[in-house]
A = this chain, B = another copy of it.
Amino acid sequence: MPTALTLHPDRALPSEPAARALARRIYSHTAALPIVSMHGHVEAQALADDAPFGDPAALLVTPDHYVTRMLYSQGVPTHQLGVGENPATAREIWRTFCNHWHLFRGTPSRYWLEHELVEVFGVSTAPSAESADALFDQISAVLADPGFRPRALLERFGIELLATTDPAASQLEHHAKLAADGFGERVIPTFRPDAVTHPARPGWASDVALLGRAAGIDTGDYTGYLAALRQRRNAFVEAGALATDHGHLATDTTPLSPQQASSIYRNALDGELSAEAAEAFTGHMLFVMAQMSAEDGLVMQLHPGVLRDHHPGAAAALGPDRGWDIPVRTEFTRSLRPLLEQFGMDPAFRLILFTVDETTYSRELAPLAGVYSAVRLGAPWWFLDSPHAMRRFREAATETAGFYNTSGFVDDTRAYASIPARHDLSRRIDAGYLASLVLEHRLSEEEATETALDLAYHLPKKAYARR
């Protein structure tokens, strides 16, 4: 007998009756707010082309590393997820996913997937070995409906603003098409220069050459490299970008002298670079990016502390960033100091800090965001974008940083269809936290409701306003 799948209207709200009633009232004010999605991984091309999504597996399983990593962790072989020799078909992948539905108990993936299945696809049966084929057919039929194409979903999902993530060398042609079609205000690019700021990465030299070509500037020396970066930042600004995004393993921001930077740059192009020099250059470039942000007003986002592709075998078989990205201990107080000494109190600069190392919330990030006017503390990121982790974030950060030094909710979606679920979950958790403050008589209900509206909508818009 199939298990019914429904969404309880009070899901993820506190369970104690008085807290639930109050949280429900607070949530009722934010539930239908438009979505501001400032840090997504939806491809601009998907929206530019507006082609129908593929099958259920291609939409909900294979692109979502939260889902695939859980399956791999229990020994599902790669071919069962469609990779390598004798790859499984879409329907077989979907069956494998449904067979392992119990693995997601207690995870945010489960919350998001339930929300998507019910709200987006009208599913009313839980995934299981028995229900797999019927669900595959049902979702496939929905995906064939023109009302479920990428652009239509913007409307259906209530997305007011969607920022994509684009390499520095991008020509932004998809955004140009979107602008030409009237979506220029709604879908904007984000400047992501990681490929050209990490000289230790394989392919760095060719990425720098690409950057030069995109900018029409020779990147054969450090001066040209900086000029090309500036040119692309300006092109992003003109295309509507509000922010840059930086994924670094460490958070060092020590600036080099132009001579040092120039010399390392030359050695890097010549393929004669020590690991230390490469690291120093990468840290230096965070400082330089802050400098350029203080000039052009792009909000700077920093997402540090993840060791990518921990398992080389998996990276070779599946490509980069497929689930074996593992956090490491992260330090902010000392390493951000050079950058903050220079720009931390500069009204022309904005830095939004994310982490996957929760220990830094109360020890480093809230104290920093609670005094530096340029700094805002971003929402819980990646593994921490989950009910308990969001609660821990509020409890650890609010008492020192308050609410108004945080960015409000920022999703980090891999799966387009999960954006509404992620925002919905965040609004519920914040309603629950605010309700607890009201019930402890630390806040009035009016203040709590106003704060909930700010966290869900006004603060992200304010935090990401170009300076």
Contacts and interface: CB of A to CB of B under 8 A. Distances in A.
A10 B18 CA distance: 15
A102 B18 contact: no
Contact of A372 (B73, B386, B441): B73
Total identical chains: 3
A121 interface: no
A368 B10 CA distance: 32
A270 to B, nearest CB: 29
Nearest to A337: B310
Given A73-B369, A311-B345, A399 B106 contact: yes
B341 A108 contact: no
Interface stretch (A275-283, A290-298, A352-360): A352-360
A389 interface: yes
A103 B363 contact: no
Contacts of A104: 402
A260 interface: no
Interface string A186-208: 00000000000000000000000
A247 to B, nearest CB: 16
A105 B403 contact: yes
Interface in A386-435: 386-389, 392, 395-396, 398-405
Interface string A346-371: 01000000001111001110111111
A327 to B, nearest CB: 5
18 contacts: A3-B444, A11-B440, A15-B18, A15-B440, A105-B451, A106-B398, A106-B403, A107-B398, A107-B402, A307-B333, A310-B333, A323-B371, A325-B367, A328-B334, A329-B363, A357-B359, A383-B400, A388-B396
Interface of A: 3, 7-8, 10-19, 69-70, 72-75, 102-108, 110-111, 307, 310-314, 323-329, 331, 333-334, 337, 340-341, 344-345, 347, 356-359, 362-364, 366-373, 375, 383-384, 386-389, 392, 395-396, 398-405, 436-437, 439-444, 447, 450-451
Which 4 pairs of residues, A with B, have the shortest CB-CB distance? A15-B439, A8-B441, A11-B441, A386-B399
